[in-house]
A and B are shown apart, each in its own frame.
Chain A
Amino acid sequence: MSNAVAHADGHADARHAHHPAHQHHFDTMAQQKEAAVIGMWLFLLTEILFFGGLFVAYMIYRVWYFDAFAEASRRLSLFWGGLNTAVLIGSSLTMALAVRAAQTNNRKWTVNWLVLTMLLGCVFLGVKVIEYQDKFANYEVPGENYNWLYHEQHAAAAGETTPHRELSLTPSQLQNTTQIYFSLYFTMTGLHALHMIIGVGLMMVITWMAWKGRFDAQWYTPVEMSGLYWHFVDIVWIFLFPLLYLVERP
């Protein structure tokens, strides 16, 4: 496979002297690549607007119920959120290096970097499970059992006092409005996590293809397209992290 060009030289018919991945309806490999890149970006644009709608919903409710968002945001762990941001940025680096390894005909490191990217993706999802579990344990999942005052009641039962801030909303208003925050939190991070799961699934296929030696410096389009998808998911998180975890910290 990797000797495709040398092999093609042996063809008597010049029309067949092409890379095996070169499809006949494209004039050149460059044109084929360009079509794939633009097609992938068009798909990502639909994704941008898909998440964009959620960001609009977030912005409007944040403006309306800022105190509720600030209070609810403090319930998220900055440690886990920060760690996940670092993990995801790290996975973007390993993904970029996987593409680079493919570009330079390095089959071994294409596979290695892809495997590392998947591992970091799984670490991210694992941390997300810990965070979600904590929300369920503390009655912070919107719905029947949602209890904004659970913390305070818990602390009061243990004889501790919780710090009080001057808020524009009463506890019963917070009971309702913080559920809007957590609904958006679960929808946005949940959809983001779903994208990560799809990304890991995609990468399993790409890693297998790379392992089989399907890619070379002339054709590594699937690696690069999965990379674009993965980096996009990283970008969504780059916005989700400050919007959800850092509403008002001091």
Chain B
Amino acid sequence: MMSDHVSPLALYLTIFGALMVLTAVTVGAAYVDLGAFNFLVAIAIACFKASLVVWYFMHVKWQSQMTKLTLATGLFTLAILLGMSLIDYASRNFTDMPRPVNPDAQMRAH
């Protein structure tokens, strides 16, 4: 059975070690001023840590293609949720939209 793969103890300890080291790296990186890249580094490390947990601790590596596809579907949906929402908010100032000088006047016009 594919899902009944028993991982060696050493693998679990290695992943645990990697997660601890990456936590220390995240904290360390936060104290280095990288400008906008601080956020990207923190998120990249968090995504990598999450992937290690999903792949090895949650055994997805040894699960069926169906299970992997199920997970991928969820992550895709999450990407739409995050991506589309942020694109919306980030792009609101791209064009000069005429703004109402007096909000009350705008209300009355409708």
Contact = CB atoms under 8 A, between A and B. Distances in A.
Interface in A34-60: 34, 37-38, 41-42, 44-45, 48-49, 52-53, 55-56, 59-60
Given A45-B77, A89-B23, A235 B12 contact: no
A37 B78 contact: no
23 contacts: A41-B67, A41-B70, A41-B71, A41-B74, A44-B74, A45-B70, A45-B77, A49-B78, A59-B82, A85-B23, A92-B16, A93-B13, A96-B57, A99-B59, A100-B6, A100-B7, A231-B53, A238-B50, A239-B46, A246-B30, A249-B31, A250-B31, A250-B32
Given A52-B82, A250-B32, A235 B50 contact: yes
Interface in B36-63: 38, 42-43, 45-46, 49-50, 53-54, 56-59, 63
A150 B62 CA distance: 53
Contacts, number: 129
Nearest to B78: A52
Contacts of A85: 23
Interface in A5-47: 29-30, 33-34, 37-38, 41-42, 44-45
A30 B3 contact: yes
Contact of A60 (B74, B77, B89): B89
Interface of B: 1, 3-4, 6-7, 9, 12-13, 15-16, 19-20, 23, 26-27, 30-33, 38, 42-43, 45-46, 49-50, 53-54, 56-59, 63-64, 66-67, 70-71, 73-75, 77-78, 81-82, 85-86, 89-90
A239 B74 contact: no
Interface string A58-94: 0110010000000000000010001001100110110
* Chain B facing A: main interface SS: helix
A163 to B, nearest CB: 16
A85 B42 CA distance: 14
A234 B78 CA distance: 18
Contacts of A104: 6
A48 B78 contact: yes
A34 B82 CA distance: 30
A136 B77 CA distance: 37
Interface residues of A, number: 51
* Chain A facing B: main interface SS: helix
Nearest to A246: B30
B66 A248 contact: no
B75 to A, nearest CB: 8
A34 B66 contact: yes
Contacts of A29: 1
B38 to A, nearest CB: 7
A190 interface: no
A246 B50 contact: no
B68 to A, nearest CB: 9
A242 interface: yes
Given A234-B53, A246-B27, A59 B19 contact: no
A38 B67 contact: yes
A49 B50 contact: no
Contact of B3 (A33, A48, A52): A33
B103 to A, nearest CB: 19
